[in-house]
Amino acid sequence: MARKMLKALALLLAVGYCSLLLSQLTHPLKIVEIRPVPDRIVSNLLSNFTYKESPDDTSIEDSVNKNISLEDIFISVKTSRHYQASRLPVILKTWFQLAKEQTWFFTDVDNPLHQNQTNGHMINTHCPSYHQPKHLCCKTSIEYDHFLDSGKKWFCHFDDDNYVNIPRLVTVLQRYDHRLDWYLGRQSVNRPVYVNYQKKKILYFRFGTGGAGYCISRSLALKMSPIASGGRFMSVCEGIRMPDDVAIGFVIEQLLKVNITEVPEFHSHLEQMKLLPLNKLRDQISFGFFWKKNYKDTVNAVNVPGFSARYDPTRFLSLHCFLFPYFQFCKLIRR
């Protein structure tokens, strides 16, 4: 009896297996083709995915960074009654034309001519005009407060002996997230800065030289507010007895513990401008110059072809035409 049942089971299995083979032959399996997702769909998916970027990551993949434009930047230029007449005309003729609404000049005197030429962007700080630390800090303090009131995402400070490559400035800032703490600049010294503050010796901090320019994200600027806003910054300067750019570094690096991010595209007259390669000028953010005796003896300037040294001692006119040759006055260059 058991043997008959085993034979019947074996017969049933054989019939089932044959049926399965017949089914595979008459109805073959469909092969599913796996295709890559189109780039357009991937892009849409990524744009809807947000993450908090690490301050150590300067990736520009975040769509928020890419959307940074000139409108998001507050550009301040520090000047004085001693240099306005000689330095501002070349700035107003060149790079200011690319950022008229975003650039503000902080001075210590009323000048109706420059006020008209800048469409009201000259701010008389009423600070002393001397080149002493506390007087420099006075202007920088007011620059900082104006930035806070502006609601802009980036605060970028320059001096009146700087040429600023505006498109490049925007491009570089797009690498960084304004919602995080960023202090962007270039050091002029490669050694620690020592200061005495509240009877304590601060052993080390770095700073970005103001003569090359520096930028501070809004996130970091807001953290500076309890220490620096409303004129408090002047007290810091007096406490360490250092110029404004050093005091900025002190507040950020020593008190807030945020390190400077070195950006080599910033330049000042403390460097040899003539050593900048011609084919690298478009990649730079700022340039400087230095002269003696009211342009009669230009000591340090960018080596760029264009106008004569007598007509353009700072080389800013020539540099501007090299970068933006479509400006009308560039047609005066002898080819």
What are the helix (H) ranges across the chain? 2-26, 39-47, 63-66, 84-93, 112-117, 133-150, 166-173, 218-228, 232-240, 244-249, 316-323
Q: What is the pLDDT of residue 192?
A: 73
- Whether the Cβ atoms of residue 229 and residue 250 lie closer than 8 Å to each other: no
Residue 101 pLDDT > 70: yes
Between 217 and 29, the higher pLDDT residue: 217
Q: What is the pLDDT of residue 196?
A: 78
In a shared domain, residues 191 and 116: yes
Per-residue pLDDT averaged across 253-265, rounded?
96
Alpha-carbon distance values, 327 to 49, 271, 318, 324 (Å): 42, 28, 11, 6
Structural domain of residue 306, as residue ranges? 273-332
Between 36 and 193, the higher pLDDT residue: 193
- For residue 214, the cross-strand partners are 157
In a shared domain, residues 314 and 203: no
Per-residue pLDDT averaged across 14-18, rounded?
43
**Which of 47-51, 57-61, 93-97, 256-260 has the least mean pLDDT?**
47-51
Final residue in a domain of this structure, among 262, 284, 308: 262
In a shared domain, residues 143 and 213: yes
Beta strand 73-78 with 200-202 is unpaired
Hunting for tokens 């945020």 — which residue is that?
258
Q: What is the domain-level CATH number for residue 150?
A: 3.90.550.50
Q: What is the pLDDT of residue 45?
A: 28
Structure tokens at 26: 């008459």
Three-state DSSP at 94 gives coil
In a shared domain, residues 197 and 150: yes
Per-residue pLDDT averaged across 47-64, rounded?
42
Per-residue pLDDT averaged across 249-257, rounded?
95
Three-state DSSP at 193 gives coil
In a shared domain, residues 257 and 317: no
Q: What is the pLDDT of residue 122?
A: 98
Q: Is 153 a member of any domain?
A: yes
Q: Is 143 a member of any domain?
A: yes
**Which of 58-62, 135-139, 229-233, 257-261 has the least mean pLDDT?**
58-62
How many CB atoms neighbour CB 318 within 10 A? Answer: 23
Residue 92 pLDDT > 80: yes
Helices and strands (H, E) in the chain, number of each type: 11, 13
Q: Is 303 a member of any domain?
A: yes
Q: What is the pLDDT of residue 294?
A: 55
Please say if 245 is a catalytic residue. yes
In a shared domain, residues 277 and 138: no
How many CB atoms neighbour CB 217 within 10 A? Answer: 23
pTM of the model: 0.79
Of 275, 279, 200, which is closest to residue 288 (Cα–Cα)?
275
Which pLDDT band holds residue 199 (cuts at 50, 70, 90)? confident
Q: How many domains does the chain have?
A: 2
In a shared domain, residues 84 and 171: yes
Final residue in a domain of this structure, among 210, 230, 262: 262
Average pLDDT, the chain: 83
Residue 203 pLDDT > 70: no
Q: What is the pLDDT of residue 303?
A: 95
**Residue tagged active-site, from 62, 160, 245, 312:** 245
Tens of pLDDT, residues 128-145:
887 777 888 999 999 999
DSSP state of 54: P
Tens of pLDDT, residues 19-55:
433 443 333 333 222 223 233 332 332 233 232 333 4
Which pLDDT band holds residue 183 (cuts at 50, 70, 90)? very high
Final residue in a domain of this structure, among 236, 262, 288: 262
Three-state DSSP at 278 gives helix
Sequence-separated (6 or more) residues with CB below 8 Å from residue 285: 164, 165, 168, 169, 172, 213, 263, 265, 266, 267
Residue 68 pLDDT > 70: yes
